[in-house]
Chain A
């Protein structure tokens, strides 16, 4: 009768049925027994002991209050604190606690010098929160207000003072782009996996080191177990789990040096990067104008934010890693290295500079209108002769230049552990074909050879490149953190130098370039004579990056050109020349001339660096010199 796939199955055998029935009866008895047990227990809990539990539910309400952990400190490479914490006092209010909220809020508004509507708005915004969760009415009140509220404690039921650790910026806007800032976690972030343990209202790193090393810095929240009554008044503290402070972050930055750089930049927009040439550690990361970190504490106001957004000096941009500029003549280092290494020229081969070079039907000018005359390799770099590099670039071809530039870390991100780094641009024939579906024009090679045209670099890239040229050819990954230590001083993590490979080019050609770069600063015709220091031999290269075609402002000079059309000024350098320790790269936006605008900033940094070094060696003579890579060759 049943369809096919069913197993052949017989009706139950009466004898067996009888037996099974007996067992079902036993099962029923067991189940009824368990049911009775549960009902008895219900009766016991809800009726026999019901009043006791009802009382407990009235008075024994354990409330768990979270206590924010002090965030880890951020220190410089000598262990000096840069950013620490201070207590901040917020006014919070629990709806549950207040029998007559309107009067309380009215009184409170007077004390806080706030309009009552501001407070009511905040309360309204929080209606979705669980009832017991206090609403924050005002952040960071001053000492006087705090005392007033504490005194009127009894007439302000439901109002409490919450103490929250907050960031204290000991050096103001010091390295503001690099360290970043904190703000309340956003709903979007709360949905992210990495913030799974956070709650709304928590502070979280939003940018820079504060964001990237959040995991280390944040610490563990504490918990305050409170017994509260039916109106929410605290009865007693049951247990206090102290918060555990976050770990300290030791940056590679040097407070003194960074401040020297920031001071030297003054109100100029631009960037200063200082790197240890043999480790890749960054001693200075300065982008101006700086962010006023204090404005971000407790949330930045909309007007302040809009002001930042619309500022022509673009303070929100971290110019060290996000600013992309044509490198100008500093790029001649790349062209020079490629030319010597590829054998396109010998150091002694000369070109004649008559002030311009005709190519196709265009005239390519040298910055020195009268011309340099006969120039060899050394002089071409020292005096930054454009015509020499036009000729050399033409013989190299753009793809050869690109090959060397790429090996020197240009045209791609340096890999520094910061967000939103830009990679710059190194053009090639293949790139142009792909990007514009056009053939590469020979004339464009001429622009590339002197760092104009499509070429774009960030200050960090140039600094790293300079370091590699003078350290024997090793391209180090830029790093800004030395180590992470626990609050008890234990070292949790250290950051060893990371090599990203060798740059192309022979040691011989590197030495030739290094020699010429010393000439740039120290010879009579050098373009960066202003940088020269009495006791230390510095080497470097100036650069002037055109923002627009010169013709547009032909005839105008200096300050007659509108600010936004003025050229960017570059200076990238190293010292001491005999045994380079640091590389300094300076960019001044619209600073016009590399030597005169960017040079003095670098000079100030070197001055401070060697002063500090002399001071330190005075104290501790046992200071070991930084070790050089084994393959370092100096000629």
Chain B
């Protein structure tokens, strides 16, 4: 089955590996800083995260060693599995602070909405690859991919996890814009989308979700409630100044003022302790990784590779942008993790698997056609 090709080794993407390593080390050091004061039963969180990293590396190696074109035959089984997992989480899932997001596997608590993001990328890439564009997609051509996105979107939004749900929407929009759309289609969608927002606001959003958006627009109205997160995070980031307060010396993070400081607000801890220098370095590292991913996309050997790589890049980009903008007070608090930095096994494994796909595509760019 696995035929070893020496060219694969020659084309290993050391640049991407290097960038991932830098971000990973920053992430681990940061989790240690933000959680070493926690009194958890069981293993310390940074050790758990390290275990996830090692496990993730194994997953990444496995993905790299199998030609990504296998996904063209696996995409629908994967999609069905994802829907079943999401349904399972909704019905039997573990309830953590009001949300049914987790499936308990005993050794690991899986959050199926995380792999769902990547599986959606694979599904859409396969669909758009198979569908001939011709003069560009019309409105009707979009019905199937919209449905494919809508189903997991509803299941995830129902958990309720609006952040991840919206992320699926962003991935769908990015990938659809990337393949050719007719101008008329684009215009219709734009108008339709804008008119849906007020309706969604009124009927679809839960009160707490509406409150979050309102708080975001005016955080000082509610400094102790939902505005607390945004204010404390902005203070943490801002008080880092140029060089930061020093590793493990951030007062906001260490003194418990920052909520969710090892998960969604991990970057605030980093920014507080390492200042503008550290945070700019991390942001640049990230965006370098993302731009490099686009470079991989355009140098792929076939169109499926291009679409897949682009999808993975959009997945990482949107997560990173939404999270960073959120902790800097540019977007409402929606609960999207920062890839490779926020604590959490499901998110880490998904993002490492995505990066594995990128490396996979990169390594096979010179392979001939079958």
Contact = CB atoms under 8 A, between A and B. Distances in A.
B91 interface: no
A21 B328 contact: no
Contact of B328 (A10, A38, A47, A60): A38
B298 interface: yes
Contact of B67 (A6, A17, A39): A6
Contacts of A61: 251, 255, 257
Interface in B253-275: 254-257, 271-272, 275
A24 B290 CA distance: 12
A47 B306 contact: no
Contacts of B302: 9-12
Contact of B251 (A7, A34, A57): A57
A35 interface: yes
Interface string A99-142: 00000000000000000000000000000101110000000000
Interface residues of A, number: 54
B238 A46 contact: yes
B368 A38 contact: no
A40 B171 CA distance: 25
B292 to A, nearest CB: 11
Interface string A552-570: 0000000000000000000
Contacts of A47: 241-242, 276
Contacts of B284: 35, 39
A53 interface: yes
Which of A3, A27, A54 is packed against the most chain B CB atoms within 10 Å? A27
Contact of B237 (A24, A34, A46, A230): A46
Nearest to B178: A23
A235 interface: no
B109 to A, nearest CB: 16
Nearest to A6: B69
B297 interface: yes
Contact of B276 (A34, A35, A42, A57): A42
A43 interface: yes
Given A35-B283, A238-B224, A54 B241 contact: yes
A548 interface: no
A57 B67 contact: no
B158 interface: no
B276 A43 contact: yes
A270 to B, nearest CB: 44
A309 interface: no
B287 A32 contact: yes
A533 interface: no
B240 interface: yes
A303 B280 CA distance: 61
A35 B325 CA distance: 10
Nearest to A53: B238
A239 B224 CA distance: 9
A493 interface: no
A499 to B, nearest CB: 37
A12 B300 CA distance: 9
Interface in A35-60: 35, 37-39, 41-43, 45-47, 49-54, 56-57, 60
A130 B256 contact: yes
B240 to A, nearest CB: 5
A56 B239 contact: yes
A5 B68 CA distance: 11
Contacts of A56: 235, 238-239
Given A42-B271, A238-B224, A16 B303 contact: yes
Nearest to A228: B255
Given A3-B3, A38-B325, A46 B39 contact: no
Interface string B220-255: 000110001000101111111110000000011011
B70 A6 contact: yes
Interface in A222-272: 225, 230, 238-239
A21 B298 contact: yes
Contacts of A24: 294, 297-298, 310
Contacts of B325: 37-38, 41
Contact of B69 (A9, A19, A23, A191): A9
Contacts of A23: 177-178
A191 B40 CA distance: 10
Contacts of B239: 50, 53-54, 56-57
A631 B21 CA distance: 82
Contacts of A490: none
B41 interface: yes
Contacts of B330: 37-38, 41
B234 A12 contact: no
A31 B290 contact: yes
B283 A38 contact: yes
10 contacts: A2-B370, A6-B69, A7-B69, A20-B178, A28-B294, A35-B283, A43-B276, A57-B251, A62-B223, A130-B255
